[in-house]
């Protein structure tokens, strides 16, 4: 571009109504502007709060109109990448399409404008919905009962391990250790720790799966549970799962399944048949509830018969006459891990989603696995595959070949944004140095997958021919590489009036 053109561009840029840096909402505030109105007060205007307990003022006035709010948040939204824009190949996150019927159903006043402590007689629809979702998740997992209470996957893990602990305590010894493969999500050891257990890490085999000899020797009578991700974080199904559950059960332990990767086999196989005793699911992964820029999640936990008495309170039960009620009278329960019944709005969405597929929900897993394997076939000559065991719903490459040119997985990830894709997962799993963990999900078609493969191949070529382009990426995003080091060294965590 000529210098003249560049200058013109800069001039136009300055005049554009949408500046590239968006003011904070507080910086839009102006005296005399109003963004709300309330009906006139229809009762006497009294304040019975003693002066000493009253607030004088609130710092940092924001006076903006609805027009400005609409523009502000619409402009901000356009700085975000989203699934509706293009594929999110984020391994272990299952970024699938979020059906809009789910959103509408969750907003029905009969769900969104209700209170869980309303009398049972006027809450039968809510209770039946929760009860039905529990039955459906029970059918999909092959386990008899499910708690819907946990707010997210990590809280589900904690609930699951707490139930195991309670069951072991009842039989006399809570035991001390939880076994976790070195490929596991970081939440597993954190949850075990918060349930009062020590963590023993199990080294994976050369295939990236659980090493049965290692399990045999580690699985002592002191071990409460093995926490296993199925398929594991490499996207590999533990084909010896039945042998694994036999070993764990033989020593009186429980098999915990981290269901973050349930999308790989939902509707095809059942954890209950694998010998799994307890398993959390992520409604925001497998069951299409939106990620929403980081929440809300929802992490139901399915359990075997032995753990049923220890489910969090309350449970939803059905009487013989067909009416539903909340059962708080559960003396052996682990208690509760949050207020009310859980992220109910997510239950509505998940049930809408499962109803859309019904008995054909296995198509989800089949398509997800097909898509991941198609990417694997399209990229395995240009990206290194540390473990070549068969992939299920995700495939984990590494940056070994790109490192020869001084380019890391993070650089490849950032460059992918220039091609219009979200980066894959790069911080994880820890057993693959420089991981590029790719999970396309079932909601991508062949054209989208081809475009992704093409982009990844182009980047691999750039790593050899013009690594600088990759190292300085991204070039076309709303902002360039962000100084995260500066943010951490000089903490600015809020605007100040």
Cβ at position 299, least distance to another protein in Å = 9
Counting residues that bind another protein (by CB under 8 A) gives: 210
- Pick out residues in 201-230 that bind another protein (CB under 8 A): none
| Bridge partners of residue 437, in order along the sequence | 396, 425
In the Cβ-directed half-sphere of 194, how many Cα atoms lie within 13 Å? Answer: 15
Q: Which of residues 361-400 bind another protein (CB under 8 A)?
A: 361-364, 366-367, 369-371, 373-374, 376-378, 389-390, 392
Query: Residue 317: CB partners within 8 Å, gap ≥ 6?
Result: 131, 324, 325, 326, 327
Q: How far is the CB of 49 from another protein (least distance, A)?
A: 5
As a whole number of angstroms, the distance between CA 15 and CA 19 comes to 8
| Residue 417 near residue 473, CB atoms below 8 Å | yes
Query: Could you tell me the smallest distance in angstroms from the CB atom of residue 353 to another protein?
Result: 9
Cis amide leading into 314 (omega within 30): yes
Task: Pick the binder of another protein from 24, 171, 216, 220 (CB under 8 A).
Answer: 24
Q: Output the six-digit token pair for 163.
A: 């139930």
- The full DSSP string for 301-326 is EEE-GGGGGGSPSPEEEE-TTS-EEE
Q: Which of 396, 388, 389, 363 is nearest to 266 (CA)?
A: 363
Under the binding rule (CB under 8 A), the answer on residue 480 touching another protein is yes
The interface region with another protein, picked from 8-16, 39-47, 211-219, 459-467 by CB under 8 A, is 39-47
Near another protein by CB under 8 A: residue from 433, 454, 466, 468: 433
Query: How many angstroms separate the Cα of 496 from the Cα of each of 19, 27, 76?
Result: 22, 10, 20
Q: How far is the CB of 256 from another protein (least distance, A)?
A: 15
CB of 453 vs another protein, minimal distance in Å: 10
Q: In angstroms, how far apart are the furthest CA atoms of the chain?
A: 82
Binding mask 152-171 for another protein (x = CB under 8 A): xxxx-xx---x--x------
How far is CA 433 from each of CA 230, 427, 458, rounded to the nearest angstrom? 21, 9, 22
> By C-alpha distance, which of 147, 392, 142 is closest to 245?
142
Note whether 297 binds another protein by CB under 8 A.
yes
**Chain residues 168-187 in contact with another protein, contact rule CB under 8 A:** 185-187
Task: Compare residues 464 and 469 and give the one whose CB is closer to another protein.
Answer: 469
Residue 43 lies near another protein (rule: CB under 8 A): yes
Please state, in angstroms and as integers, the Cα–Cα distance from residue 100 to each residue in 84, 304, 333, 367, following that order. 11, 34, 36, 21
Task: Find the binder of another protein among 193, 249, 251, 400 (CB under 8 A).
Answer: 193
C-alpha separations of 134 from 143, 274, 388 in Å: 10, 20, 37
Interface with another protein in residues 52-71 (CB under 8 A): 52-55, 57-64, 66, 69-70
Site for another protein in 270-289 (CB under 8 A): 270, 273-274, 288
Q: Which of 216, 250, 465, 495 binds another protein (CB under 8 A)?
A: 495
Among 237, 256, 383, 397, binds another protein (CB under 8 A): 237
Site string for another protein, 438-457 (x = CB under 8 A): ----xxxxx-xx--------
First vs last C-alpha separation in the chain: 42
DSSP assigned state of 79? T
Least distance CB 4 / another protein (angstroms): 21
73 in contact with another protein (CB under 8 A): yes
What is the smallest separation between the CB atom of 420 and another protein, expressed in angstroms?
A: 10
**Pairwise CA distance, residues 156 & 163, whole Å:** 11
Residues 93-132 that bind another protein (CB under 8 A): 93, 95-99, 101, 103, 105-126, 128-129
Q: Site residues for another protein, window 242-271 (CB under 8 A)?
A: 242, 265, 267-270
Helix (H, G, I), strand (E, B) or coil at 265: coil
Please report whether residue 327 would count as binding another protein according to CB under 8 A. no
* Cα–Cα distance for residue pair 364/441, rounded to 1 Å: 8
In the complex, minimum distance from the CB of residue 456 to another protein, in angstroms, rounded to a whole number: 15
The two structure tokens encoding residue 33 = 């502007």
Does 239 participate in binding another protein (rule CB under 8 A)? yes
From CA 235, how far away is CA 395, in angstroms rounded? 6
CB nearer to another protein: pick between 215 and 234: 234
Question: Should residue 406 be labelled a site residue for another protein when binding is judged by CB under 8 A?
Answer: no
């Amino acid at each position: 571009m000529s210098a003249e053109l560049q200058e013109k561009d800069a001039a136009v840029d300055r005049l554009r109504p949408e500046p590239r840096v968006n003011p904070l909402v507080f910086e839009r505030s102006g005296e005399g502007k109003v963004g709300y109105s309330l009906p006139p007060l229809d009762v006497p205007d009294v304040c019975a709060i003693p002066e000493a307990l009253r607030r004088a003022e609130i710092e940092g006035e924001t006076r903006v109109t609805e027009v400005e709010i609409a523009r502000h948040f619409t402009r901000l939204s356009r700085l975000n990448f989203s699934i509706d824009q293009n594929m999110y190949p984020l391994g272990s996150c299952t970024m699938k399409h979020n059906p809009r019927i789910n959103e509408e159903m969750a907003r029905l006043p009969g769900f969104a404008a209700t209170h869980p402590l309303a009398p049972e007689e006027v809450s039968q629809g809510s209770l039946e919905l929760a009860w039905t979702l529990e039955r459906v998740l029970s059918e999909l997992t092959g386990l008899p009962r499910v708690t819907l209470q946990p707010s997210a996957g990590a809280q589900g893990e904690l609930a699951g391990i707490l139930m195991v602990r309670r069951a072991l305590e009842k039989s006399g010894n809570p035991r001390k250790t939880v076994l976790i493969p070195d490929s596991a999500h970081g939440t597993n050891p954190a949850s075990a720790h918060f349930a009062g257990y020590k963590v023993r890490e199990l080294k994976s085999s050369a295939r990236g799966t659980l090493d049965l000899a290692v399990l045999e020797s580690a699985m002592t009578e002191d071990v409460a549970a093995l926490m296993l991700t199925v398929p594991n974080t490499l996207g590999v199904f533990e084909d010896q799962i039945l042998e694994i559950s036999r070993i764990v059960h033989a020593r009186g332990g429980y098999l915990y399944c981290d269901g973050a990767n349930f999308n790989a086999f939902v509707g095809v196989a059942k954890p209950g048949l694998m010998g799994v005793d307890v398993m959390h699911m992520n409604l925001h992964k497998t069951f299409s509830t939106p990620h929403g820029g980081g929440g809300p999640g929802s992490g139901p936990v399915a359990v075997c018969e032995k753990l049923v008495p220890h489910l969090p309170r309350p449970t939803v039960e059905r009487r013989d006459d067909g009416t539903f009620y909340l059962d708080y009278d559960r003396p052996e329960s682990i208690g509760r891990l949050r207020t009310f019944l859980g992220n109910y709005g997510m239950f509505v969405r998940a049930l809408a989603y499962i109803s859309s597929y019904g008995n054909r929900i296995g198509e989800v897993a089949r398509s997800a696995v097909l898509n991941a394997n198609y990417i694997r076939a399209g990229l395995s000559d240009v990206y290194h595959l540390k473990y070549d065991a068969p992939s299920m719903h995700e495939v984990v490459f590494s940056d070994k070949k790109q490192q020869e040119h001084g380019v890391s997985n993070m650089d490849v990830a950032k460059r992918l944004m220039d091609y219009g894709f979200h980066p894959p997962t790069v911080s994880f799993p820890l057993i693959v140095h420089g991981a590029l963990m790719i999970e396309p999900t079932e909601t991508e078609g062949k054209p989208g997958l081809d475009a992704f493969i093409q982009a990844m191949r182009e980047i691999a070529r750039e790593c050899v021919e013009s690594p600088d382009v990759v190292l300085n990426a991204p070039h076309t995003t709303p902002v360039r590489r962000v100084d995260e080091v500066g943010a951490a060294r000089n903490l600015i965590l809020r605007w100040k009036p």
